[in-house]
Structure 1
Amino acid sequence: MSSENFSAEAQRIRQRTMDTLLAAFSELSEGLLIVDRQARIVWMNEKYHRRLGIADPASIVGLPVEAVIPNSLMRSVVTSGKPIMLDIMEFGTESFVVMRLPVRDASGEVIGGVGVMIFDDPRQLVPLVSRFQSLRLELADTRRKLDEARRAKYTFSSFVGVSPTCIAVKDKARRAARAGSPVLILGETGTGKELLAHAIHAASPRAAGPFVAVNIAAIPETLLESEFFGVAPGAYTGAERKGRSGKFELAQGGTLFLDEIGDMSPALQAKLLRALQEKEIEPVGSNRLIAIDVRIIAATSRQLQKEVDEGRFRADLFYRLNVMTLDVPPLRERLEDLPLISEALADSLARQLGEHPRGISAAALEYLARHPWPGNVRELSNVLERALLMSDADRLERADFEQILPGLAQFPSTEPIQPGARTLDQLQQDTERRAIAAAIAAARGNKAQAARSLGISRASLYEKIAALGIAPPDSV
């Protein structure tokens, strides 16, 4: 190319560049450099050649940029068409913070590039780098906490008890942990179904993966599908711009715990069944299928077989979930565990409340054993927490619980059950006796009200009172 042609080309490139915001860069930056598509220097502003110690700026025009700045990456920018937004360039003994951008013509073709010296001292980046490091550490900490939240919080040692029923449940749960099949946990509210789900995950080969729990009863029906399967970007008005992952995606490689599965609608049951059968999900508003590798543990306080028989729960989904079943006994059926559970809960609650450890007297435990515990371990935890807050003594006494569970003192004492000491009929009678006594106490002696709370007729209640030898005070 002749010198005349080069000058014309250089002028065109310079004009195109200066017509943009780069003119402002020339004033605001520490230096500005323009090259053509062959990475030859077209122009360098006064600040730049002064920084580089160039006495005659005109002498460098037309030279390859590397001949003037050996460490320049401008050739890479004009060749690839990709910018280098922030870099440190060394020149002799000095270092500069620079930015390099391609320059394109109206058709989008790269015709050159511009280099901007942002700072003449990299130390000026310290506040920016410091802020970046701080944000990165905050992000890492947030991710760590999120990962911790998706880890199992309990192990089998957390399921306290030495009764035969408790030991049998834990043995069966340990076998379930070793397998990869779905697990269905059945039991009344407050018996520790979620605790067992955590323990199964923690003892399984998936323990290093996430544990994600979904309480189906706590989420509005209209949101359940998106909670499970996620939402595609812009799937509907108000949807997140980047979309949102569902619980299945979050549980990849781990365990998804579906609490209160019996409350799921038939429509969602069908979609869940398909996901389990095909091992893939489709986010709401998307045509993209996502393969899933998730183990399912489901739990319910409903009688699921009855729900199936009455058409409220899909039989095919029930069979898919009911591969390994755990029946968690209510507290009233393992009262021999009551002392151990109470002590463990009292210690844990005392730590949470910032209180000193408390003991529980034998008389207090005997009194607690009279209660039928319809709310199971969760109810026991509530009673113990209230007692701890109301007492300053080193040991919780019977009187502390009489304020919370009044009326039990007037009924015959039932000692905690000892393993093998009673027949099954005797155990059932003890359970019924405690439940009826507590219901009458709660109804303040009103037998009609007590019968309604127990779900039996008043006549049946009188028959059971006579048969079980219950002698409550005079009542209506």
Structure 2
Amino acid sequence: MVSGQLFNHKLLDVVFENANYGTIIIDNNGKIQYISNKYCEFLEVDREDLIGGYIVDFIENTRLHLVVQTGKSEMGDLQFLRGSFVITNRIPIFDDKEIIGAIGTIIFRDLDDWKKMNSHIKDLLARNNLYTPEVDQANGARYSLHDLIGNSHEMNELKERVKRVAGGDISVLIRGESGTGKEIIAQSIHQLSTRSTKPFVSVNCGSIPEHLIESELFGYEEGAFTGAKKGGKVGKFRSADGGTIFLDEIGDMPLHMQVKLLRVLQEREYEPVGSLQPKKVNVRVIAATNRPLEKMIENREFREDLYYRINAIQLVSPPLRERTEDIPLLIQHFFEKAKARIGKRVNSIHNDVYELFKKYSWPGNIRELENVMDAGVHLSNEEFLDIDALPEYIKRDSENIRRDSEKIQKKTLKELVEETEKEEIERTLKNCKFDKNKAAEALGISNSTIYEKIKKYGITE
């Protein structure tokens, strides 16, 4: 049918191994006659296992055999392959007007480039609602990068870092206050990774009783202890095998469990409770905390070796008060979300609400803002959401802001300067543990001056 000369592997390798893509060639029966080493590396298979086999048995979602039938090229197509998107070209091969096969390519310079490209494609599709995490809810992840709402410098930088780290398998530590969206970041990394079709398992380390956390994470064998279920129990790490495990509030993990977690990260194995043999596991670990792990290490509350294992790459989720320019976007997002969930028509939001929200400190961050918008939609009339529809504590804060503003407006310049000076001296003294000489040096004033100011403002330790 086709001469062996046409599919001379040595010649084809010379051509295609220097190209920036993976290549596969089939004959007119759909059998694989050639596949480049780059393509094999991407598929994680040996070339010898594929040659001579039918392409539909080895390449998921392939259309190359259909190109042989139609004789029509398919260029720049998106193909979902091994849990990720690739850009593929499919071209029929003609010999004297007869179709004798087809050649297919997937484009990337190397595996790292492909991983970056895949993350970028998924992000673009999600932003245009063409690829949504709801499709993959079976994997346990509900959010993706487009759920990180905000166009501030801090958020744009964070999103770029998420896309850059998603392609690898390196451990990630997410830092941030409660309610800043740390789990959304973790799920975004998973959804943009090559593990996106595998499980995403979330564990809140602070919510599991200390005596149960080992069996919860690693499972147990039948008869491991009194009351153990028949047949044993599969732990979270086994459930996440092949995918990602998210260890939220890792700072709350007991010390004895930190040792066992370190073994999983180092050896890629664990022992279920009551088991005599370790079990291998393939998971990516993403951890998160709002606690000062460095201080905990000093106090011997957190293992330093574990800290360096989980902190290979650190991402920081900024508090809402540091990105107030994102508040209008978040207000609108949660407003539409609340209306859809509650089933209530509210036409608009009063400008006073926007102004108040930009001045409020948001100690509960995004989670608090979402809850406030939920309450506002519930309590609003059908025309617009105004300050009267907001929770009482928000309205009290609004009144306090107004009073403070009036007080400031009544103060003289001298009073404002003295008040600011007193606050700065108090803050510096506190940071220097009330060492007056160190505080004076930090403030750039003499020792005698700081003693005078302390006496003038009645500052006490």
Of 138, 142, 146, which aligns to 1:157?
146
Contact kept? 2:346, 2:381, Cα under 8 Å: no
Write the distance in 2 (CA, Å) between the matches of 1:364 and 1:169: 28
Q: Does the C-alpha gap of structure 1 residues 197 and 402 become closer, same or farther in structure 2, counting only changes over 3 Å?
A: closer
* CA deviation after TM superposition for structure 1 residue 370, in Å: 1.6
Write the distance in 1 (CA, Å) between the matches of 2:364 and 2:404: 19
Q: Which residue of 1 aligns with 2:276?
A: 287
Q: Does 1:409 align with 2:399?
A: yes
Q: Percent identity?
A: 42
RMSD value, Cα:
2.6
* CA deviation after TM superposition for structure 1 residue 358, in Å: 4.8
Contact kept? 1:370, 1:414, Cα under 8 Å: no
Write the distance in 2 (CA, Å) between the matches of 1:401 and 1:236: 52
Write the distance in 2 (CA, Å) between the matches of 1:359 and 1:177: 38
Q: Does 1:399 align with 2:392?
A: no
Q: Which residue of 1 aligns with 2:187?
A: 198
Q: Which residue of 1 aligns with 2:362?
A: 373
Q: TM-score, normalised on structure 1?
A: 0.55
In the TM superposition, 1:312-323 aligns within 5 A as 312-323=301-312
Q: Which residue of 2 aligns with 1:362?
A: 351
Cα deviation digits, residues 261-310 of structure 1 (max 9, x gap) = 00001100001001111100110011121100000000001112221222
Q: Does the C-alpha gap of structure 1 residues 399 and 287 become closer, same or farther in structure 2, counting only changes over 3 Å?
A: same
Residue type of the partner of 1:205? Answer: T
* CA deviation after TM superposition for structure 1 residue 353, in Å: 1.8
Q: Which residue of 1 aligns with 2:252?
A: 263
* CA deviation after TM superposition for structure 1 residue 413, in Å: 10
Residue type of the partner of 1:351? Answer: A
Structure showing greater Rg: 1
Contact kept? 2:372, 2:391, Cα under 8 Å: no
In the TM superposition, 1:47-86 aligns within 5 A as none
Residue type of the partner of 1:271? Answer: K
Write the distance in 2 (CA, Å) between the matches of 1:337 and 1:355: 25
Q: Which residue of 1 aligns with 2:203?
A: 214
Of 224, 227, 240, which aligns to 2:229?
240
Cα deviation digits, residues 243-277 of structure 1 (max 9, x gap) = 11000000010000000000001100001001111
Write the distance in 1 (CA, Å) between the matches of 2:241 and 2:345: 41
Write the distance in 2 (CA, Å) between the matches of 1:164 and 1:236: 53
Write the distance in 1 (CA, Å) between the matches of 2:262 and 2:397: 48
Residue type of the partner of 2:357? Answer: L
Write the distance in 1 (CA, Å) between the matches of 2:247 and 2:362: 25
Cα deviation digits, residues 21-67 of structure 1 (max 9, x gap) = xxxxxxxxxxxxxxxxxxxxxxxxxxxxxxxxxxxxxxxxxxxxxxx
In the TM superposition, 1:76-115 aligns within 5 A as none
Contact kept? 1:183, 1:296, Cα under 8 Å: yes
Write the distance in 1 (CA, Å) between the matches of 2:372 and 2:403: 19
Write the distance in 2 (CA, Å) between the matches of 1:329 and 1:358: 31
* CA deviation after TM superposition for structure 1 residue 209, in Å: 0.5
Q: Does 1:223 align with 2:176?
A: no
Contact kept? 1:256, 1:294, Cα under 8 Å: yes
Q: Does 1:385 align with 2:374?
A: yes
Contact kept? 2:346, 2:380, Cα under 8 Å: no
Secondary structure at 1:244 match in 2: coil
* CA deviation after TM superposition for structure 1 residue 227, in Å: 0.7
Contact kept? 1:201, 1:211, Cα under 8 Å: yes
Contact kept? 1:152, 1:211, Cα under 8 Å: yes
Secondary structure at 1:218 match in 2: coil
Secondary structure at 1:153 match in 2: coil
Residue type of the partner of 1:367? Answer: L
Write the distance in 2 (CA, Å) between the matches of 1:414 and 1:335: 20
Q: Does 1:304 align with 2:304?
A: no
Write the distance in 2 (CA, Å) between the matches of 1:250 and 1:308: 30
Q: TM-score, normalised on structure 2?
A: 0.57
* CA deviation after TM superposition for structure 1 residue 412, in Å: 5.4
Contact kept? 1:212, 1:250, Cα under 8 Å: yes
Q: Does the C-alpha gap of structure 1 residues 384 and 253 become closer, same or farther in structure 2, counting only changes over 3 Å?
A: same
Structure 2: which 5+ residue stretches go unaligned? 1-133, 406-419, 424-432, 435-461
Residue type of the partner of 1:409? Answer: E
Contact kept? 2:249, 2:289, Cα under 8 Å: yes
Of 245, 250, 253, which aligns to 2:242?
253
Write the distance in 2 (CA, Å) between the matches of 1:347 and 1:414: 33
Write the distance in 1 (CA, Å) between the matches of 2:284 and 2:351: 43
